[in-house]
């Protein structure tokens, strides 16, 4: 799965355009393949990754789409269904950045073929489709029981009318422009001078194949959008960040490549009563002073929805922790449940009846000789 653009640039979600530009400039210098300590192909890949993130986040419109729909949303903004250097619009920024570093060096190769030529030629080879991400929020009760859900997932699929070829009746022919290679030599006049480079064939978009008449159903794209119903079972014990992979439920592949996957990412909502600590649950319970002093049963809420009885020993202290075995959450992939921990507090009444007041006064008087009951509590 592609990394988060904000994470790639190391900026906050609400970063200003200045912050984004500054972060990109810094990283671009760092990952320049000529100065980077990394292997050239690794540095090139990183350089491309930060440039893709910059391309999207520096454009408020693309950024908005990304914030709302993630990678799946912006990939259609790129010409080949994914980012390539052809989509990069900030060469001027790069010229500024590298003017003090003796120019572009290897970066030239990256932009205009060169060492990445193999990848470009790879356009006509089968390629897997993009993977999609779906975020789902579940409650703590659903962590206990698991949850089955039917998701509606919009994704692309191969057009059935033309078997994904884009040609009417599937009548495909070899591209006359590139002779099936998917790439052509091109001379560019740029601000850096005149350059011969190998670029993707515009006629066939690198596929090496073309057609006289486009398929009327997909208008030559070879793929159509559709919404599929996907059943997912979120397992018991799922945690925030748990990722379920549904193989093949992503976007259609290219040139007969396999489809991408769907990743369902779980987020567990906070609970108003229980706090989660792995498979254990914590809950606060307040009861009366007599109940703590004398001992006895109290009712405790459980994640199962029923109240459980908890026995307090005589002399149970405020802030002591009681444990109920097996009343926690199941562990992911294991049957056994964790425990529930109960932190005991005291409920001090704010309004007293006359009778209660008399009783408490009496009690306070009795305790006075031992240093005073309420003073002791205060010292704790």
Residue 351's contacts (CB-CB under 8 Å, 6 or more residues apart) are: none
Interaction of residue 201 with Zn ion, rule CB under 5 A: yes
Stretch that binds Zn ion, among 50-58, 172-180, 249-257, 283-291 (CB under 5 A): 172-180
Interaction of residue 199 with Zn ion, rule CB under 5 A: no
Cβ distance to Zn ion smaller for residue 252 or 292: 252
Stretch that binds Zn ion, among 94-102, 196-204, 261-269, 270-278 (CB under 5 A): 196-204
Stretch that binds Zn ion, among 73-81, 213-221, 228-236, 357-365 (CB under 5 A): 213-221
Interaction of residue 90 with Zn ion, rule CB under 5 A: no
Interaction of residue 95 with Zn ion, rule CB under 5 A: no
Question: Looking at 64, 188, 203, 361, which residue binds Zn ion (CB under 5 A)?
Answer: 203
Cβ distance to Zn ion smaller for residue 62 or 217: 217
CA dist., res. 211 & res. 221, Å (int): 11
Question: Looking at 94, 107, 178, 279, which residue binds Zn ion (CB under 5 A)?
Answer: 178
Which tokens in the block code for residue 104? 């572009």
- Cα 99 to chain center, whole Å? 37
How many residues touch Zn ion under the rule CB under 5 A: the total is 12
Which tokens in the block code for residue 235? 């397992």
Residues 12-71 that bind Zn ion (CB under 5 A): none
Q: Which helix (H) or strand (E) holds 184?
A: strand 183-190
Cβ distance to Zn ion smaller for residue 233 or 256: 256
Mask: binding to Zn ion, 128-167, rule CB under 5 A, as x and -?
A: -------------------------------x-xx-----
Question: Looking at 20, 175, 199, 310, which residue binds Zn ion (CB under 5 A)?
Answer: 175
Question: Minimum Å distance from CB 177 to Zn ion?
Answer: 4
Phi, psi of 110 (to 5 degrees): -65, -45
Interaction of residue 329 with Zn ion, rule CB under 5 A: no
CA dist., res. 151 & res. 83, Å (int): 28
CA dist., res. 182 & res. 201, Å (int): 5
Cβ distance to Zn ion smaller for residue 202 or 267: 202
Question: Minimum Å distance from CB 204 to Zn ion?
Answer: 3
Cβ distance to Zn ion smaller for residue 162 or 344: 162
Residue 130's contacts (CB-CB under 8 Å, 6 or more residues apart) are: 71, 72, 75, 81, 82, 250, 251, 260
Question: Looking at 56, 72, 107, 215, which residue binds Zn ion (CB under 5 A)?
Answer: 215
CA atoms within 13 A on the CB side of 25: 15
**160-to-154, 155, 167, 221, 298 alpha-carbon distances in Å:** 17, 15, 11, 12, 65
- DSSP label at residue 251: S
Alpha helix locations (H) across the chain?
A: 5-9, 17-31, 40-57, 60-69, 71-74, 91-98, 106-111, 117-121, 140-145, 289-294, 354-368, 373-379
Interaction of residue 177 with Zn ion, rule CB under 5 A: yes
Are the CB atoms for 216 and 97 separated by under 8 Å? no
Residues 336-365 that bind Zn ion (CB under 5 A): none
Cβ distance to Zn ion smaller for residue 51 or 205: 205
Interaction of residue 168 with Zn ion, rule CB under 5 A: no
Contact residues toward Zn ion (CB under 5 A) are 159, 161-162, 175, 177-178, 201, 203-204, 215, 217-218
């Amino acid at each position: 799965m592609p990394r988060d653009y904000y994470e790639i640039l190391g900026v906050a979600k609400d970063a200003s355009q200045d912050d984004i530009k500054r972060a990109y400039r810094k990283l671009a210098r760092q990952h320049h393949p000529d100065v980077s300590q990394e292997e050239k192909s690794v540095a090139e890949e990183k350089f491309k990754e930060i440039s893709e993130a910059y391309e999207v986040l520096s454009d408020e419109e693309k950024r908005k789409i990304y914030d709302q729909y993630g990678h799946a949303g912006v990939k259609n903004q790129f010409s080949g269904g994914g980012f390539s250097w052809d989509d990069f619009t900030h060469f001027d920024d790069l010229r500024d950045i590298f003017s003090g570093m003796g120019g572009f060096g290897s970066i030239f190769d990256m932009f205009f073929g060169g060492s990445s030529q193999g990848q470009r030629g790879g356009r006509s080879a089968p390629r897997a489709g993009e993977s999609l991400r779906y975020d789902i929020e579940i409650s703590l009760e659903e962590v206990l029981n698991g949850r089955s859900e039917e998701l509606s997932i919009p994704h692309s699929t191969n057009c059935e009318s033309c078997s994904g070829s884009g040609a009417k009746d599937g009548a495909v022919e070899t591209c006359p422009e590139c002779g099936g290679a998917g790439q052509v030599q091109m001379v560019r006049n740029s601000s850096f001078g005149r350059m011969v480079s190998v670029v993707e064939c515009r006629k066939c978009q690198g596929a090496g194949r073309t057609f006289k008449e486009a398929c009327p159903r997909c208008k030559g794209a070879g793929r159509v959008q559709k919404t599929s119903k996907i059943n997912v079972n979120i397992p018991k014990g799922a945690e925030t960040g748990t990722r379920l992979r549904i193989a093949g439920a992503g976007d259609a592949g290219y040139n007969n490549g396999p489809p991408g996957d769907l990743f369902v990412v779980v987020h567990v909502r906070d609970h108003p009563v229980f706090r989660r600590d792995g498979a254990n649950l914590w809950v606060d319970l307040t009861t009366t002073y007599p109940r703590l002093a004398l001992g006895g049963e109290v009712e405790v809420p459980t994640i199962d929805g029923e109240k459980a009885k908890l026995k307090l020993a005589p002399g149970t202290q405020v802030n002591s922790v009681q444990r109920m075995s097996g009343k926690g959450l199941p562990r992911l992939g294991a049957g056994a449940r964790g425990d529930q921990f109960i932190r005991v507090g005291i409920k001090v009444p704010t309004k007293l009846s006359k009778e209660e007041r008399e009783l408490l006064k009496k009690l306070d008087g009795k305790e006075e000789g031992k240093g005073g009951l309420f003073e002791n509590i205060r010292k704790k």
